[in-house]
C-alpha cells in the first residue's frame, strides 16, 4: 500500500508542474495589458508601474515563471491586490464554511441516494424504481442555481422556515449554524445524490444478476442479507469511482451554491476575485483548488484500492 | 508496387446498418420527446424574431413585474420586458454555446488525440500529461478562470468551455486510435503500402466516430448547463442581452413578487437539458448497446 501511495504521488508531479504553468499563464492570456484590466483607467501611471514591477510583469517570461515558482515552493502564493493580504490568509479565512458545506452536502447525498438507489434496483420497474430514476434524471439535468432558487422560494420565501442567506458557524452556535447551512447543503447534496442514485442503481442491478447472488439466495439467506452482505459491497466500487469523478462537479457546484446563498467560502472568494480582476488572488485560489482536487482524486484512487483488493495487488 | 486503395461506396448492408442505428435510436422510449425538444429549440433559435412577440430588449415601464397572461405568456420583468421573448432569444445563446464549445472540443481534442495515438512516445506522453493537467481543474473553476481572462461574452464562454471539454475528446480519440491501429485490417492496409494519413482517414476515423458522437451528444447538454451557470454568475452573456442564466440571476431579487422571471427561463433550461440528455442516451444505446445502463 505504501508503495502504491508513493507511486501515485510521483505520478502527480509532472501534472502538478503543468498545472502551475497553466495557472501562471492565466494572467498572460488576458487580451491587452493585465495591469490595465486590473486597475481603472484613472489610476496614476506610477501606481500601475509599481504594481507591474511588484508582479514582475516587466521582466522576461521565463524569469517571471522562475521567480513565481521559487516563491510558490516557499509557500508564497502571492498577495491579493484588493486587500493586500497573502492569498493563503484569504483562503484560510474562507476554507471552514466550504468544508462544512461539502461535508454536510456529502452526508445528505449519501443519506438520500443509498436507500433510493438500493430500493430502485431491488424493486426494478416498480413505481418506486420509476420514482428513483426520475429523481436521478431531475437532479442531473437541474442546474445547481435553479435547485437553490426553488428551495429559497419554497422554504425561505413561502414557508419562511429557513434563512436564505448568511452564515453562522455551527461550531459556535450549533442549531443556527445548521439552519444557515441547511439550504446550501441540500442544494449541493441533491445534485450529488442524483448521480450516486443512478450509479448505485445500475451497479446494484449488475451485482444482483451475478451467480454468487443466486448462490446466496439458494443457501437460504434473507433478501435483506443478500443485498446488504453480497450485492451492496460489490456495488459500492463503481459508486466510489463516480464519487471521485464527481468531486470536480461538487467543487463547481459549491462555487455556485456559495454565491447564491452568500456563504463566505472559497468558491465565493473565486467569484469575487474574478469580478474584482484580482488576478494574483484568482491564480492563487485556482491553484489551491486544483491541488486540492488532485489530492482528493488521489485519495479516491487509494480508497478504491482499499475497497477492492484486486486493484491493490495489480 | 503502388497499390491504390479506393474507399468503397457504402454497400446496401452499410446503408441498412445506418438506418437500423437510426431506428434503434428512435425506438428508445424517451428519444422522441428528446428529439422533439431539440428540434423545437433549434427552430425557436433560428426563427426567434418570428416566434418572439416583442423585442427582447424593449422596456415597458407601465407594465413591470406583470403576471403571465395572454399578452405576456411568461409575464414581464422588473423593467417591463417580455420574459417569453427573452427566453426565445436566450435559446440562441444556449444552443450556440452548447454546440459551439463541443464542436471546438471535438475538433481540437480529436486532432490532439489522433496525434498522440499515432505519434506515441514522447509526443503522446507530453500531450496526455497536458490533458491530465487540464482535467486537474474542476471544470467550472477552470471555465471561470478562463472566462475571467478572456473577458465576459459569448465568444469567451464558448472558448473557455471548449478548452474544458477538449481533454475528454483527446483521451477518447487516443484510446480509439490505439485500439484500432492494433487491429488486423490496419496491419493489412499498412502491408498494402497505404500511407499513415490514409489509414487515419479511412480506417481509424470512421471506426472511432461512434464513441465520439456519443460523448459529444451528451456533452452538449452539460455545456448548455455550464454556459447558464457562467452567465448566472455574471461572467457569460452580459445584460441586457438575453441569456437564460443571466435572466435567472437578474430575477432572483424578485423571487417573492415575480417568481416567473426566474421560472420561465429555468423551465426552458431544464426542458432543453432533459431533451438533449434523452437524445444523447438514445444515440449511445443505438451506437453501442453494451454501454446501456
Task: Specify the pLDDT at position B8.
Answer: 45
The closest CB to that of B133, out of A19, A198, A248, belongs to: A19
Task: Specify the pLDDT at position B15.
Answer: 53
Rounded to the nearest angstrom, the minimum Cα separation between A72 and chain B is 18
CB atoms within 10 A of CB A223: 11
- Inspect the interface and report whether the beta carbons of A30 and B149 lie closer than 8 Å: yes
Closest chain B residue to A275, measured at CA: B148
The total number of residues shown for chain B amounts to 293
**Is B242:B93 a contact under the CB 8 Å cutoff?**
yes
Question: B277 is written with which cell numbers?
Answer: 440528455
Per mean pLDDT, which range of A183-192, A225-234, B107-116, B161-170 is the poorest? A225-234
Q: Which of A22, A28, A140, A146 to mutate to test the interface with B (most CBs of B within 10 A)?
A: A146
Q: How confident is the model at residue B85 (pLDDT cuts 50, 70, 90)?
A: very high
Question: B272 is written with which cell numbers?
Answer: 432543453
Rounded to the nearest angstrom, the minimum Cα separation between B129 and chain A is 6
Q: Give residues with Cβ within 8 angstroms of B147, minimum separation 6.
A: A274, B156, B157, B160, B230, B235, B236
The closest CB to that of A149, out of B225, B233, B262, belongs to: B262
Residue B269 has pLDDT above 80, yes or no: yes
Task: Specify the pLDDT at position B4.
Answer: 42
Question: A124 is written with which cell numbers?
Answer: 426494478
Which chain A residues contact residue B138 at CB under 8 A? 247-249, 251-252, 289-290, 293
Task: Specify the pLDDT at position B201.
Answer: 84
Residue B76, beta-bridge partner list: B82
Cα four-point dihedral sign B215, B217, B222, B228? positive
Closest chain B residue to A280, measured at CA: B145
Q: Which of A17, A143, A238 to mutate to test the interface with B (most CBs of B within 10 A)?
A: A143
Please name which of B249, B262, B66 lies closest in space to residue A153, comparing C-alpha atoms. B262
Residue A262: left if φ>0, alpha if ψ -120 to 50, beta else—which one?
Answer: left
Residue reference for cell 447534496: A189
Q: What pLDDT, in 10s, does the model give residues B117-134? A: 888 889 998 999 899 889
Task: Specify the pLDDT at position B3.
Answer: 41
Rounded to the nearest angstrom, the minimum Cα separation between B146 and chain A is 7
- Inspect the interface and report whether the beta carbons of A29 and B277 lie closer than 8 Å: no
- Inspect the interface and report whether the beta carbons of A252 and B229 lie closer than 8 Å: yes
Q: What pLDDT, in 10s, does the model give residues B189-202? A: 889 988 888 888 88
- The residues of B whose Cβ lies within 8 A of any Cβ of A are 129-130, 132-134, 136-142, 144-151, 221, 225, 228-229, 232-235, 245, 248-249, 252, 255-256, 259, 262, 266, 269-270, 273-274, 277, 293
Q: Which residues of chain A have pLDDT under 50?
A: none
Task: Specify the pLDDT at position A23.
Answer: 86
Task: Specify the pLDDT at position A107.
Answer: 92
- Inspect the interface and report whether the beta carbons of A143 and B269 lie closer than 8 Å: yes
Task: Specify the pLDDT at position B274.
Answer: 92
**Is B81:B57 a contact under the CB 8 Å cutoff?**
yes
Which chain B residues contact residue A293 at CB under 8 A? 136-138
Q: What pLDDT, in 10s, does the model give residues B8-43? A: 444 545 555 555 655 665 556 778 888 999 999 999
- Inspect the interface and report whether the beta carbons of B138 and A248 lie closer than 8 Å: yes
User: Cα–Cα distance between B65 and B62 in angstroms, integer?
Assistant: 10
The closest CB to that of A270, out of B144, B225, B232, belongs to: B144
Please provide residue B2's backbone torsions phi and psi, each rounded to the nearest 5 degrees: -85, 130
Rounded to the nearest angstrom, the minimum Cα separation between B181 and chain A is 26
Residue reference for cell 419554497: A154
Task: Specify the pLDDT at position B25.
Answer: 55
Both ends of chain A: CA-CA distance in Å? 11
Q: What is the mean pLDDT of chain B?
A: 84
Give the ipTM: 0.84
Question: B67 is written with which cell numbers?
Answer: 403576471
Question: B144 is written with which cell numbers?
Answer: 471561470
Q: What pLDDT, in 10s, does the model give residues B65-74? A: 878 889 888 9
Residue B291 has pLDDT above 60, yes or no: no
Task: Specify the pLDDT at position B293.
Answer: 44
Task: Specify the pLDDT at position B94.
Answer: 92
Q: Which of A141, A187, A247, A272 to mutate to test the interface with B (most CBs of B within 10 A)?
A: A141
CA distances from A83 to A78, A144, A267, A278 (A): 12, 30, 18, 10
Q: How confident is the model at residue B7 (pLDDT cuts 50, 70, 90)?
A: very low
Exposure string over A163-187, b if 16+ CB within 10 A, otherwise e: bbeebbebeeeeeebeebbbbbbbb
Element (H, E) at A152: none
- Inspect the interface and report whether the beta carbons of A157 and B151 lie closer than 8 Å: no
Please name which of A85, A260, A96 lies closest in space to residue A172, comparing C-alpha atoms. A96
User: Cα–Cα distance between B189 and B218 in angstroms, integer?
Assistant: 33
Task: Specify the pLDDT at position A232.
Answer: 87
Amino acid at each position: 500500500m505504501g508503495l502504491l501511495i508513493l507511486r501515485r504521488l510521483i505520478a502527480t508531479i509532472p501534472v502538478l508542474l503543468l498545472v502551475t504553468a497553466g495557472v501562471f499563464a492565466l494572467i498572460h492570456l488576458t487580451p491587452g495589458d493585465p495591469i490595465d484590466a486590473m486597475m481603472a483607467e484613472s489610476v496614476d501611471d506610477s501606481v500601475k508601474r509599481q504594481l507591474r514591477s511588484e508582479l514582475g510583469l516587466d521582466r522576461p517570461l521565463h524569469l517571471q515563471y522562475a521567480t513565481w515558482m521559487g516563491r510558490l515552493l516557499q509557500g508564497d502564493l502571492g498577495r491579493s491586490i484588493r486587500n493586500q493580504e497573502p492569498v493563503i490568509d484569504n483562503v484560510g479565512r474562507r476554507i471552514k464554511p466550504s468544508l462544512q458545506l461539502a461535508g454536510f452536502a456529502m452526508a445528505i447525498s449519501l443519506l438520500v441516494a443509498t436507500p433510493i438507489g438500493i430500493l430502485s434496483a431491488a424493486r426494478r420497474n416498480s413505481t418506486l424504481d420509476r420514482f428513483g430514476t426520475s429523481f436521478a434524471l431531475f437532479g442531473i439535468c437541474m442546474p445547481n442555481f435553479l435547485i437553490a432558487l426553488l428551495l429559497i422560494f419554497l422554504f425561505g420565501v413561502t414557508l419562511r422556515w429557513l434563512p436564505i442567506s448568511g452564515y453562522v458557524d455551527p461550531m459556535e452556535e450549533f442549531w443556527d449554524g445548521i439552519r444557515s447551512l441547511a439550504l446550501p447543503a441540500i442544494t449541493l447534496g441533491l445534485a450529488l445524490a442524483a448521480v450516486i442514485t443512478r450509479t448505485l442503481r445500475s451497479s446494484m442491478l449488475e451485482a444482483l444478476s451475478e451467480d454468487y447472488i443466486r448462490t446466496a439466495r439458494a443457501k437460504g439467506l434473507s433478501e435483506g442479507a443478500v443485498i446488504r452482505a453480497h450485492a451492496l459491497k460489490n456495488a459500492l466500487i463503481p459508486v466510489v469511482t463516480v464519487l471521485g469523478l464527481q468531486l470536480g462537479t461538487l467543487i463547481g457546484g459549491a462555487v455556485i451554491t456559495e454565491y447564491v446563498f452568500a456563504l463566505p467560502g472559497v468558491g465565493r472568494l473565486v467569484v469575487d476575485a474574478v469580478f474584482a480582476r484580482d488576478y494574483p488572488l484568482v491564480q492563487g485560489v485556482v491553484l489551491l483548488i486544483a491541488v486540492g482536487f488532485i489530492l482528493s482524486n488521489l485519495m479516491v484512487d487509494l480508497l478504491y484500492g482499499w475497497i477492492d483488493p484486486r486493484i491493490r495487488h495489480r | 508496387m503502388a497499390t491504390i486503395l479506393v474507399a468503397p461506396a457504402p454497400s446496401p448492408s452499410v446503408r441498412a446498418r445506418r438506418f437500423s442505428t437510426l431506428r434503434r435510436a428512435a425506438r428508445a422510449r424517451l428519444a422522441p420527446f428528446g428529439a422533439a425538444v431539440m428540434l423545437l429549440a433549434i427552430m425557436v433559435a433560428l426563427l426567434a424574431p418570428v416566434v418572439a412577440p416583442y423585442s427582447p430588449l424593449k422596456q415597458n415601464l407601465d407594465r413591470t413585474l406583470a403576471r403571465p397572461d395572454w399578452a405576456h405568456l411568461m409575464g414581464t420583468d422588473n423593467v417591463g420586458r417580455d420574459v417569453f421573448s427573452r427566453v426565445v432569444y436566450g435559446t440562441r445563446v444556449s444552443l450556440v454555446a452548447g454546440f459551439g464549445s463541443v464542436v471546438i472540443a471535438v475538433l481540437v481534442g480529436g486532432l490532439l488525440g489522433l496525434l498522440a495515438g499515432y505519434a506515441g512516445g514522447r509526443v503522446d506522453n507530453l500531450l496526455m500529461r497536458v490533458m491530465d493537467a487540464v482535467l486537474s481543474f474542476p471544470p467550472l473553476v477552470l471555465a471561470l478562470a478562463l472566462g475571467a481572462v478572456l473577458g465576459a461574452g459569448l465568444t469567451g464562454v464558448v472558448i473557455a468551455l471548449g478548452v474544458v471539454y477538449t481533454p475528454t475528446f483527446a483521451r477518447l480519440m487516443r484510446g480509439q486510435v490505439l485500439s484500432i491501429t492494433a487491429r488486423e485490417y490496419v496491419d493489412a492496409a499498412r502491408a498494402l503500402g497505404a500511407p499513415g494519413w490514409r489509414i487515419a482517414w479511412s480506417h481509424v476515423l470512421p471506426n472511432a466516430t461512434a464513441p465520439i458522437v456519443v460523448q459529444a451528444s451528451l456533452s452538449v447538454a452539460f455545456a448548455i448547463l455550464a454556459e447558464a451557470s457562467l452567465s448566472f454568475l455574471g461572467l457569460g452573456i452580459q445584460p441586457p442581452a438575453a441569456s437564460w442564466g443571466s435572466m435567472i440571476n437578474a430575477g432572483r431579487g424578485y423571487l417573492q413578487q415575480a417568481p416567473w422571471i426566474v421560472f420561465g427561463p429555468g423551465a426552458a433550461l431544464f426542458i432543453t437539458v432533459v431533451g438533449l440528455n434523452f437524445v444523447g442516451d438514445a444515440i449511445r444505446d443505438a451506437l453501442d448497446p453494451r454501454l446501456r445502463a
